[in-house]
């Protein structure tokens, strides 16, 4: 392989990495319908370069969230396998919040339709169904408050994403402490205000994504 050919491949890999990083930031801040040109500008590549790597939005969305979906499914499977419904629910919430806090497995959109590839959408729908089953079991056990909704998980993920600490270990510890407080309220029978109508992308717009 020639030096020029090797350099071209390295440049292509770098462009793909920057596109994926930019898309992840912009999707999280503004949702999935943001113009592809906005993502290209954020990645500092041309629109043609973006489409050369990802000919359709579906392909880009899937590439951005594939790893997060796989991790999310693994965590939920672990919770469902636990014979103790409340412990299984608690473990899933703790692990998802820790991943959200550290940024290693963002869960934005895991429970909402992405418009990704058909296989991706099937697995995303399974994650939603399985978490709903986990919630049902925890409620049936008498440990999870009956008015808990999926929007409450969204709220927890949003607040976990705001956790900052000097090290990943400290972020995980803070996330677990944060979830510990919330899990106490999840068990409470004290009345709460109605749940907020939150989608996974109901977060303040990041001005850098414009």
Say if residue 207's pLDDT is above 60: no
Q: Which residues contact 132 (CB under 8 A, 6 or more apart)?
A: 150
CA-CA distance, 178 to 157, in Å (whole number)? 11
CATH class of the 65-209 domain in this structure: mainly alpha
Contacts of 29 (CB under 8 A, 6+ apart): 203, 205, 206, 208, 209
Q: What is the pLDDT of residues 110-169, one digit of tens each?
A: 545 555 678 888 888 898 899 999 999 999 999 999 999 888 888 888 787 777 888 888
Q: How confident is the model at residue 200 (pLDDT cuts 50, 70, 90)?
A: very low
CB 198 within 8 A of CB 109: no
Q: What pLDDT is attached to residue 204?
A: 35
Span 166-184, mean pLDDT?
86
Whole-number pLDDT of residue 51: 95
The second-level CATH assignment, the architecture, of 1-55 is Orthogonal Bundle (1.10)
Q: Where are the alpha helices (DSSP H) in 31-167?
A: 36-43, 47-53, 57-81, 85-102, 118-140, 150-161
Q: Where are the domains of the chain?
A: 1-55, 65-209
Model confidence at 10, in pLDDT bands (50, 70, 90)?
confident
Q: Provide the pLDDT for residue 142.
A: 95
In this predicted structure, the answer to whether residue 206 has a pLDDT above a threshold of 60 is no
CA angle, corner 74, sides to 73 and 77, nearest 5? 85
* pLDDT reported for residue 107: 52
Q: Is the pTM of this model over 0.85?
A: no
């Amino acid at each position: 392989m020639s030096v020029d050919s090797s350099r071209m491949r390295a440049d292509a890999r770098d462009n793909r990495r920057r596109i994926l990083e930019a898309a992840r930031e912009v999707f999280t801040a503004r949702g999935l319908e943001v113009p592809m040109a906005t993502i290209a500008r954020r990645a500092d590549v041309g629109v043609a370069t973006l489409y050369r790597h990802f000919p359709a939005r579906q392909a880009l969305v899937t590439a951005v969230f594939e790893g997060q979906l796989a991790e999310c499914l693994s965590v939920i499977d672990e919770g469902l396998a636990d014979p103790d419904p409340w412990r299984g629910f608690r473990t899933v919430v703790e692990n998802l919040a820790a991943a959200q806090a550290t940024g290693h497995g963002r869960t934005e959109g895991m429970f909402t339709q992405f418009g990704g590839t058909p296989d991706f959408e099937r697995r995303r729908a399974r994650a939603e169904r399985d978490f709903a089953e986990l919630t049902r079991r925890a409620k049936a056990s008498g440990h999870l408050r009956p008015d808990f909704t999926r929007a409450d998980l969204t709220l927890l993920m949003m607040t976990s994403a705001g956790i900052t600490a000097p090290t990943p270990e400290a972020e995980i510890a803070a996330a677990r402490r944060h979830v510990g407080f919330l899990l106490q309220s999840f068990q409470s029978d004290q009345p709460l205000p109605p749940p907020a109508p939150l989608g996974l992308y109901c977060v303040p717009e990041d001005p850098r994504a414009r």
